[in-house]
Structure 1
Amino acid sequence: MTDRYLSVAREGGHEVEIKRSRFLCALAPVSSEEAAREFIAARRRAGPGARHHCHAFVLGPDGRSRRSSDDGEPAGTAGTPMLEVLRRRELTDTVAVVTRYFGGVLLGAGGLIRAYGQAVAQAIDVVGVLEHRRLQVVEVAVSYDRAGRLENDLRASRYALHATRFDELAHFEIGLGPGEAGTFAGWLADLTGGEAKATGLGERWVTSGP
């Protein structure tokens, strides 16, 4: 069972032009094949005049579920290089659709492979990546007069601040990696003079990124 995976940070895209052909790559985070195929269908509707809407997607924390389509391009020249970029970047729960508007110049198999791969790689650089880690989450509750300093110190620390909540007290959820529980307890005791305690909430996926 994996304890870490990456996905694109948000829905977005990027366009490259190669020998007058336009390659528009759209990316989105997805959590199921149904969601991936809905996104692919939406991209088809958005570009009815395009000759090809090639796609690739990877699903699951372990990235085992993978699909791709050349959508009329020569076999292996579109979907496969798109999928390879996702694999090399270690991305999952991600769908990529490249819409091509033909510019009148044939690119050949090698040119197509490079173009589709380049479109996906550059789009990933534009939208950014999130890291998801399976961590032990604890909650720390403090009075409001301590909340500001604790939040600032948490954000400056190596510990992952997962969520905050405010009612009568300020509540902070922190993700801890293997072996960090003891060091965090000592860090928290030093910071609050022993007044604040951490309560375990169990294991969760914690997301960090841009």
Structure 2
Amino acid sequence: MSYYNTIEQEAVAEFKDKGSKFIAYAFPFADVGLLKSILSQLKKEHPKAVHFCFAYRIGNDGNTFRSSDDGEPSGSAGKPILGQIDSKEVTDVLVVVVRYFGGTLLGVSGLINAYKSTAAMALQVVPIVRKPVLYYCHIQFDYTQQNDILIILKANSCVIVSQENQLFSTIKVGVPEERKEEVLYRLKNLRNVEVMV
């Protein structure tokens, strides 16, 4: 697959059932290292909430994912949230559902419905964007060749991640998967240009 679907902005949705309040937060999310800080920020914003259940899926292959029931009965929160991420066919997404207990037990089926509905609502209000799968490489070259290289990159919708200009310049670039062969071929035809994958 040369494209994937994701979100680029945050979204919030709220759902109520028998006095319990569920608030879903959807985040663009590509770095598992950010999970703790996102959860601690939400816990500061909602000090009286009892559960912070979540699910995420990361990467183009979809193999990096996790869900948490955070004390709710097993499978009643995290899995339904992950199910909504998957039904929207998005990746690089985190959904956290914050629950305020209303005094009445909802039962496992009630919880599944509440977490599923809240996650679905948050993912409905945020625009889904289609992005190309990028193949990353470093290009090292003589500074005088910068124009030639930038013309190739721009013509092929490449994304420049970082750039260093010294005697020899280095660019880290994301090349759309479907343009990879053409870009590498054109770069390698330039003199004194080194491409490291």
Give the TM-score category using the shorter length. Answer: 0.5 to 0.7
Q: CA deviation at 1:125?
A: 0.8
| Runs of 5+ consecutive residues of structure 1 not aligned to the other structure | 141-159, 164-174, 180-199, 203-210
Q: State the secondary structure of the residue aligned to 1:36.
A: helix
Percent identical pairs in the alignment equals 34
C-alpha separation in 1, matches of 2:131 and 2:13: 24
Paired residue for 1:29? 28
Q: Is the 8 A contact 1:19 1:105 kept in 2?
A: yes
C-alpha separation in 1, matches of 2:177 and 2:57: 26
Q: State the secondary structure of the residue aligned to 2:117.
A: helix
Paired residue for 1:170? none
Q: CA deviation at 1:135?
A: 7.5
Q: Trace 1:39-54 onto structure 2 (pairs within 5 A).
A: 39-54=38-53
Deviations 1:89-145 (A, max 9, x none): 1111111110001111211100100110110000011122111123898646xxxxx
C-alpha separation in 1, matches of 2:133 and 2:101: 44
Q: Is the 8 A contact 2:2 2:178 kept in 1?
A: no
Deviations 1:33-52 (A, max 9, x none): 11233222221221111011
Paired residue for 1:131? 130
Deviations 1:169-190 (A, max 9, x none): xxxxxx99969xxxxxxxxxxx
RMSD between superposed Cα atoms in Å? 2.6
Q: 1:77 to 1:176 in 2, by over 3 A?
A: closer
Mean CA deviation greater in 9-18 or 67-76: 9-18
C-alpha separation in 2, matches of 1:30 and 1:72: 23
Paired residue for 2:103? 104
**Does residue 94 of structure 1 match 2:120?**
no
Q: Is the 8 A contact 1:7 1:91 kept in 2?
A: yes
The one-letter amino acid of 1:114's match is: N
| Runs of 5+ consecutive residues of structure 2 not aligned to the other structure | 136-151, 160-174, 185-197
C-alpha separation in 2, matches of 1:55 and 1:21: 17
Paired residue for 2:57? 58
C-alpha separation in 2, matches of 1:125 and 1:51: 25
C-alpha separation in 1, matches of 2:44 and 2:63: 29
Paired residue for 1:185? none
Q: State the secondary structure of the residue aligned to 2:43.
A: helix
Q: State the secondary structure of the residue aligned to 1:95.
A: strand
Q: CA deviation at 1:12?
A: 2.1
**Does residue 118 of structure 1 match 2:114?**
no
Q: 1:177 to 1:58 in 2, by over 3 A?
A: closer
The one-letter amino acid of 1:12's match is: A
Q: State the secondary structure of the residue aligned to 1:92.
A: coil
Q: State the secondary structure of the residue aligned to 2:5.
A: strand
The one-letter amino acid of 1:23's match is: F
The one-letter amino acid of 2:55's match is: A
C-alpha separation in 2, matches of 1:3 and 1:62: 11
The one-letter amino acid of 1:105's match is: T
Q: Trace 1:160-199 onto structure 2 (pairs within 5 A).
A: none
